[in-house]
């Protein structure tokens, strides 16, 4: 009898934990502010409109042409942020596709932006990492690497993690752009980092995947 009671309590605890986790996910994380979503996941637990039954009937809502191939977009606070191979970063109204602002870098933008605390972080093949004000596109700071930045930044706890073709992974202060540290792999790095449980994960063109403790 005691064994049955213990099993029942364990099952209840598991169900409560799952329910609580789902509740936190959908009340706290409701937008795609980075290339990776919550805990570097690529799925949205708050999406309730699209289902197996209706996904096949989707129709075009709007499209926007830049004159250059777009990077992977992110969506935050009703705005779509995206880079382009025509050297620009764009902010579009999510509901209509209307252009809100654009910012011109020195070369093609393959990087997908990351949004945190009202700032857009993005790399360019001109070798710079840019921090732009999300509401206006005004430049807040830039950090110059010695190689093209194809990587999409990850922003965690006030630190921007981003890689460069100059062989390095960078950790930058999100507020100022100051370099905190670098890690060299000896070959170009185009991988976008993922950060979880105090560890930074990324790949390099030397065929290795790295895990660095923060």
Indicate whether 8 and 101 sit together in one domain: no
Mean pLDDT of 27-40: 51
Mean pLDDT of 35-48: 57
Range of the domain at 20: 2-30
Say what the pLDDT of residue 28 is: 45
Indicate whether 147 and 69 sit together in one domain: yes
Total number of domains in the chain: 2
Specify if 35 maps to a domain. Answer: no
Indicate whether 114 and 8 sit together in one domain: no
Specify if 39 maps to a domain. Answer: no
Indicate whether 26 and 119 sit together in one domain: no
Name the pTM for this structure.
0.79
pLDDT digits (tens, 9 = 90+) for 67-96: 888 898 998 899 999 999 999 999 999 999
Indicate whether 14 and 118 sit together in one domain: no
Residue 201 maps to which CATH number?
Answer: 2.40.128.630
Lowest mean per-residue pLDDT among 56-70, 79-93, 195-209? 56-70
Say what the pLDDT of residue 34 is: 59
Specify if 44 maps to a domain. Answer: no
Instruction: Output the DSSP codes for the chain.
Output: -HHHHHHHHHHHHHHHHHHHHHHHHHHH--SB-SSS-GGG-SS-TT--S--TTTGGG---------SS-B---EEETTEEEEEBTTSEEEEEETTT--EEEEEE-SS---SPPEEETTEEEEE-TTSEEEEEETTT--EEEEEE-SS---SPPEEETTEEEEE-TTSEEEEEETTT--EEEEEE-SS---PPPEEETTEEEEE-TTS-EEEEE-
Specify if 73 maps to a domain. Answer: yes
């Amino acid at each position: 009898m005691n064994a049955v009671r213990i099993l029942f309590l364990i099952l209840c605890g598991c169900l409560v934990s799952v329910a609580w986790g789902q509740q936190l996910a959908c009340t706290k994380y409701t937008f795609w502010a980075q290339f990776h979503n919550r805990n570097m996941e690529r799925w949205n637990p708050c999406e309730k409109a699209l289902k197996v039954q209706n996904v096949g009937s989707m129709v075009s809502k709007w499209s926007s042409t830049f004159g250059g191939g777009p990077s992977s977009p992110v969506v935050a606070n009703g705005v779509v942020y995206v880079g382009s191979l025509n050297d620009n970063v764009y902010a579009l109204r999510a509901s209509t596709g209307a252009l809100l602002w654009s910012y011109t870098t020195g070369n093609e933008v393959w990087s997908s932006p990351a949004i945190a605390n009202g700032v857009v972080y993005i790399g360019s093949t001109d070798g710079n990492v840019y921090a732009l004000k999300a509401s206006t596109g005004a430049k807040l700071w830039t950090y110059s690497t010695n190689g093209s930045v194809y990587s999409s930044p990850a922003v965690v706890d006030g630190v921007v993690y981003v890689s460069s073709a100059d062989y390095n992974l960078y950790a930058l202060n999100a507020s100022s752009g100051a370099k905190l540290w670098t890690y060299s792999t000896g070959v170009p790095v185009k991988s976008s980092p993922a950060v979880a449980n105090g560890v930074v994960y990324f790949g390099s063109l030397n065929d290795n995947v790295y895990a660095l403790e923060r």
